[in-house]
Structure 1
Amino acid sequence: MVRHEPATTPRRTDEVTPTSDDHNTLLAWAVFGERTVPGVWFERYWFKRHEAAYAAFAPFTTGAVVVEAGCGEGYGAALLAKSASRVIAVDTAADVVEHVRHTYPGTTPVRADLQRLPFADATAEVIANLQVIEHLNDQEAFLAECARVLRPAGTLVLTTPNRLTFSPGRDTPANPYHTRELAPDELVPLVEEHFVVTRLWGVWHAPRLQAWERRNGAIVDAQLAHPYPQWSSALAQRVRSTDVGDFALHPDTPDTPIASSLDLAVVAYRRP
């Protein structure tokens, strides 16, 4: 049985410190669960879980004009900008857009309603929407808007929590910021109203996290069981050391059925 001791593992050098200009804003976003942010140690598991999907999508965004619909803190847009020809980072919140403007100068931040994107028809090569669609009130309208903005055969890359594992046995999402979560057999038909799905991947824990869970139990449950100052030293150390390589994205297999995945990842192209 894991004892819940104060987390006393050394602080990483890339963590936000109280002297950082954006510390209060980033910490508030993390604590209230609205956005995943870099540099906040107790968010590192979620941050790296999201970052792994950006890495997997890189072959589809390299050299392209990319619209990130729902950019959040902006770290994902910055990752995309490393290889895309241009990244337009869209969010509905003014404070987010200003933060992205000052923090990630390699992106073009735009404030807009995701269901009414301020772009002409058939102008984007790729739309990226990672861990956002579950927050939207009208998912169908959003996907129709993505299809309008994308060029013919343009690409949509999307991730969302797997309802079957994120909110198991519930009629409503466990996360109060989510409006509608999706299972694999719900996500694909929704996307295919306007797109052709070419890849459906699941996100799973890679061997290092699997080994930790065999010894200590589910890492997500452990993080949610107590406020982070009350985490055990083992949990705190595991969260601090989490990296992109601790997650794996791959399609449905007999040993890893997509229904058991943590998140769902889709690559689709716009119907003609």
Structure 2
Amino acid sequence: VCVCVCVCVYSDKNCSTDIDECASEPCKNGAICFDLIGEFYCNCTPGFEGDDCSEAVNECMSNPCDPVTSLYCEDLVNSFRCICQLGHSGRLCDIPISHCVNGLCQNGSQCEDFPGGFRCHCLSGLTGQFCEVNIDDCQMQPCGTFSICKDGLNSFECFCAPGFIGNNCEIEVDECLSDPCQNDGTCTDHLDAFSCLCPDGIEGVFCEININECHSSPCLYNATCVDLINGYNCICLPGFTGINCETDIDECASSPCKNEATCIDQPGNYFCQCVAPFKG
């Protein structure tokens, strides 16, 4: 009787059957096993290597992530993931993130992009994170208490109250500069006004009126009154005298009557009462 002693890679009594090394599923991680004579071959799925495909390939070994803008590389199955620093994105962390989208900083202000954020450089007169707030240039009352201030962009405009002039309404108008008071009246300046202190005999807002002292008829006995400044003059009729022509002149004082006639004084005249036989 003959007995066949088979090499270890064959079986059956005639040593004609190849042993299937793939029957024990030696290939790992989903690899495909190919049976060969006396051995096997594993066709590894992506991401694995080794005779039995049991070793995971480290995709981070090639340093695929940007060394400046990434924090570290995370190895995955048949892949990797780059953990980016703030301000960068992309598969390799090679794309800078721009926060400065159009119009983010308002009113023409400049936007500065930096890792993890942005900064608006506001134009003069603006404030706020987005330069959206117009600073109130009227807050400190640059036009004074009485005038109106209109705020602009880094500017203001003053609408002066009556009696004030100047860019900031800082000059009070001296209404006395135009010499409004007449007849030597004294002018006193006020806010948007003036007052005149008139000399005696003068009245009116501008001291333009000469008080008529003849209005009260101070001259007596039909005398003519002539108005003066702060006074009057009486032109007396014949036979009268005095400031107001109040004194009747005694025409008999000069003894105008002759021949022992009696002189009778009359207003502005006299009468002789003659002794007989005289007359005249």
User: Does the alignment reach a TM-score above 0.5?
Assistant: no
TM bucket (normalised to shorter chain) is under 0.3
Bigger relative CO (Cα 8 Å, ≥ 6 apart): 1
Higher helix share: 1
Give the TM-score normalised by the residue count of structure 1. Answer: 0.15
State the TM-score, normalizing by the size of structure 2.
0.15
More strand by share: 2
Bigger radius of gyration: 2
